Structures are given as C-alpha cells and as structure tokens.
Structure 1
Amino acid sequence: MELFRSRPELAVDFLREVFELSMPDATQTHAEPCDFTDIGPKEYRGDVAFSVTDETGTALVGIAVEVQLARDGTRKWSWPVYLVTLRARLKCPVFLLVVAPDSGVATWARQPIELGHPGLTLHPLVLGPELVPAVTDTAEAIAVPERAVLSAIAHADGPQAHEVLSALIAGLQKTDDQQTKMYYDIVLAALSESAQHHLEELMTTGYEYQSDFARMYVAEGRAEGRATEAARIVLRILDAKGISVSDEIRVRITSCDDVDQLERWVDRAALAKAADDLFN
C-alpha cells in the first residue's frame, strides 16, 4: 500500500492500461480518508483511497486501493462499504483496485460480490501478478520506481527475472534513503527464497552495484530473511486451513523477528483450529 501512497497516479495508470478503463486526464490527485464508517459503532478502514480532480479541485473519479496478501472472507462485506462511502463522499464515479501479489489470492479476490438488489454486483478489479507489466528498462524503473517494485514482486521467479531485478536495483538507487529502505523491505518480504538469492547476487557482484545501498541492505536482508520466511509459512498454513486471521494477529506475526518463536508458531499452526491457538 505504501507504493500507492507514495505515487497515487500508479493506480490511475493501472486502471487505464491493464483494465482499459477511461480515466480523466487530470494532473492532480488527493489522498482521501480511509475510514469508511457507517452510522453504527463499527468502523471500516481501507488501505488507500484518493481522488483524481480537475484544476478547480472537483473530484472526477475516486479510487480505493486494497492490498490483499491472503484470502479473507470479511472483504466481501467491507469492500462494497468502501466504494459506497467513497462515492457518497466525493459524488463521482468510484473504482475498487485490489492488488494481489499471489495468483491464488488474485483468483479468489476476483469473485463477484452479489449485493442482493437486482443488478447490483461488485466485480473487483484485481491486479494479480499475471497482469503486472514487467519493467525491464532501467529508465522506466528510475522514473517510476514503484512500478519496478511491483514488477519485481510479480516476475522475480519468471523468465525475465534477471532483467526486472536489475531494473529494480537501478530504480532503488535513485530514490531517497527512506523510500529505498521501505521499497527494498516490501520486495524482500514478497520474494521467494530463490528470488531473494538472485537479488542478493545482483547487488553484490558487478561493479555497477557495488554501492552503499547494496552493502547495507543485503546484509540486513540476510539477517531478516529467516524470520520473514517463517512468518510467511505461519500465515500460509492458517490460510490453507481456512482460518481467518485478524489484522492485529497478522501484524503480530509479520513483525516478529524472533525466529525461534516463529518456528514454534509454525508447529502450532499445523494443529490450530483458530488463529488465537498460536499463542495458547
């Protein structure tokens, strides 16, 4: 989601290029509140929402962007709320863009959501790995590093792996330090173990990648790699068993850097009937 917060135009581009939707040729985008609260006490909070406006500040379209890393049955109830609330707030057409790096999750997210009223069916626009354009040109990666990040996540295990990872490195070396660390962490957490090794090799061999960027982040990535992989296994086991994981528990798992603790959670996940069983 940080990619879209940093560059909201990214969502507009994908809706236009991948889904062939007509998007306004506007030069301004504005972040919108992500709290979609109804009249009751329950609050619905999305990932990223923004509007595309004309020169007078009038909203032309609204876009809610959701990053979906695993199946979550609650989304079929919350996603329609996001769109309806954003539409009422902006008084313009709105779109739901779901970014799903995993192909299985992307297939699940594309399922139509029947609202009950005749003719009202929400078809989420899902950007799965097969729809993310491969960025292999270093000039494009430098110009829009966020596209290079998504490209690397989607194609690092494919036939263009070398080209997309090389472009990624070129793009990241041109961002500021804070963005570099954030984008590198996003990529590292999403890549398979073999793709992580490929990225490390590119960053530590060859004159063009011998930089402070490479030395700093490769060393840090190796230290964090085992914990990241263990956390991913815990979540995949729970997902495979159809166990719903709350945002609070997901954050607790993914933010843990104690490998021994994570491995204990892997063992418990195999026997768990609910996510809370990990901690009991």
Structure 2
Amino acid sequence: MVSSPYEAMHRVFQEYPKLFARVSEVLGVGFKPPTSITVLPNDLTETSPVERRVDTLVRLEMADDEPLLLAVEAQGKKDPAKPASWAYYASYLLTKYQLQPVLLVVCQDRATAEWADRPVSFGPPQWPLLTLRPLVAGPHNMPMMTDPTEVRKDVALATLAAITHGKNPDIGVVLKAMTTVLVDTPDAVKNPVIEFISQGLGKLPAAALWRKLVAVDLSFYKSPLVEEIRDEARVEGETQRAAEDVLAVLAERGIDVPEAVRERITGCDDPEVLRRWLRRAVTAPAAEDVFRDE
C-alpha cells in the first residue's frame, strides 16, 4: 500500500509548477522556471507483463530551451533494484517522448537520500555503458526554513522542505513558521499546504504536532484536516464524559474502584463499549463486573 508521505513527496510537484526550478536551484543545478507544466500519464508499462510506473511525470515547457520531462520518485528506503528501474524510466521516456528526461528523487530519510545521491554506472567497469545521475532532495540538502519571512517567499519550497525534514528534532520550529505564514495566506494556498504536510508527515511524531498547530493557529479555517481534527476532538470529549459517568455511578453506589479498573475505563475510546459499561455499573456488585463476558 502506498503511504501518505510517499504520495505527498511527489504530488507536490503537480500542485506547484515552479517548484522544481526552486528545488534544482537549492541542489546547485539551477533549471529555469518553466512557462507551463503538463501532468503526463505515469504508466511506463510496455506490452510485456511487467508493470512499471513512475510516481509523478510532468512536461516542463521552458521559455528559451527545449521542453524537459521531469520524473519525480519518492523513495522511503534503500533499494538495490531501484537504480536499474530508474535507468529504464529514463531510456523509456527519451524513446517515447523524444525529450530529455530529468529524474528527481525525494527522500525523508538522510541515509536513503545519501544512497540515492550516488551516481550508478551500468556495464563492465573497464567501459561503463551508462551512468545514472538523479537529482536528490532530502534532509541532507533541503533548507530548514524556520523563519516565517523565508517561508513567505516560497511556500511551495517550504512545504517540501518541511516534509523532507519530518524526522528532524527541530521540526517544530519549521511547522510553527508554516502556520504563522498560513494565518494570512489566501484559502486557495492554505488547503493544499495543510494537506500535503499532513500526508507527508504520515505517522511520524511531528504529524501530531502539525495537527495541534493547525487546530490552534488555524482554528478558523476549514479544510479536510481541520474538520477531521475537530471530529476527533468531539469524539474524544464524548468518550471522556462517558468514562466519567461510569465512574460516577460506581462512586454513587459506594463501590470501590481499583486502579486497574479505573485505568481501563478511562482508557477506553469506544463510546458504545462505555455505554454498555454504564448500564452494567447501575447493578454491578463489584467494579470488575462492568467488564463481565468481555
């Protein structure tokens, strides 16, 4: 199954047409900003039964140069088989579109990024036939954008940078800079940024921090993530009150509640189970009996 961070690390280039030019500048290559972008089919399968898909494929129209094909791959771990696949992508794209391909690999893990950043040669060592040189964006070379002024200059680059630095201990400063800027950013910009960062952080600890910042700093704003956070908070409040009701009934009846029972009741996050325990608490001879048959 494709993970959320995997999706965010390449789909962000579909949302922001000029992002590749800024990323390449950060990486020390410096492609010109495209005049337009066309998202192309990512299916590179031929008539053979082997299916091959690049994560994101876009055509970049350049002002004074030939168009380029940008293939973006999100890579979550070292994979010895990947360089051969990437070489296939490059050859296939050149053959199919007759345009020069560029491969950008986006990583969230420093070790993976440094692995992907090495040129790979194919062929005998005395006469290599082909050398693969992908551009790689990751925590080893993307900027830590902690200043809201810098974030405001390029929100798209700041979004990708925040995703690639998701494992950094100082990611909280980066995320706070993002919400500081988003407070007075147009709604059309807020929505994709909030969702991309949420996806990109996946199950990392920073994801919980991002959700809290969005809920507090952007509480007035409506987006799928904000609505999800509000729904979760509402359910959490309901379960907390239901657990308190179970304990209140037992206390009112003078029944002693051992600590283990109390922890199990307060730790339950299922409203239906808590309602069942509440009904049993009315007649249970002992606190443990609210859990009977469970």
TM-score (norm 1): 0.63
Gaps of 5+ in 2: 1-9, 235-294
Letter in 2 for 1:185: S
Aligned-pair identity in percent equals 25
Matched with 2:113 is 106
Distance 1:8 1:89, change over 3 A: farther
Amino acid at match of 2:179: I
Q: In the aligned structure 1, how far is the partner of 2:208 from the partner of 2:30?
A: 40
Structure 2 match to 1:7:
16
SS at match of 2:102: strand
Are positions 1:96 and 2:103 aligned together? yes
SS in 2 for 1:129: coil
Distance 1:106 1:126 in 2: 7
Q: Tell me which of 130, 142, 150 is aligned to 2:140.
A: 130
Deviates more, 1:137-146 or 1:106-115: 137-146
Give aligned pairs, total.
Answer: 217
**What secondary structure is seen at the aligned counterpart in 2 of 1:36?**
coil
Is contact 1:28–1:55 with CA below 8 Å preserved after alignment?
A: no
In the TM superposition, what is the alpha-carbon distance from 1:172 to its structure 2 partner? 4.9
Residue 88 of structure 2: aligned partner: 81
Partner of 1:35, secondary structure, is coil
What amino acid maps onto 1:44 in structure 2?
Answer: R
Residue by residue, what CA displacement relative to the aligned partner does 1:171-226 show, whole Å, maximum 9, x if unpaired? 55544475255324314416x32x34543554455xx5442458635456889xxx
RMSD of aligned residue pairs (Cα, Å): 3.3
Instruction: Tell me which residue corresponds to 2:178.
Output: 168
1:2 positional shift: 1.9
Q: Which has the larger radius of gyration?
A: 2
Task: Pick one of 191, 216, 235 that aligns with 2:227.
Answer: 216
1:182 aligns with 2:195: yes
Shift of 1:143: 6.0
CA deviations 1:108-143 (Å, max 9, x no partner) are 323433321634111222111121122234355456
Q: What TM-score comes out, normalization by structure 2 length?
A: 0.61
CA spacing shift, 1:8–1:72, aligned 2, 3 Å:
farther
- The answer to whether the aligner puts 1:16 opposite 2:16 as a matched pair is no
The structure whose RCO (Cα within 8 Å, separation 6+) is larger is: 2
CA shift for structure 1 position 17: 2.6
* Cα separation, 2, equivalents of 1:221 and 1:79: 41
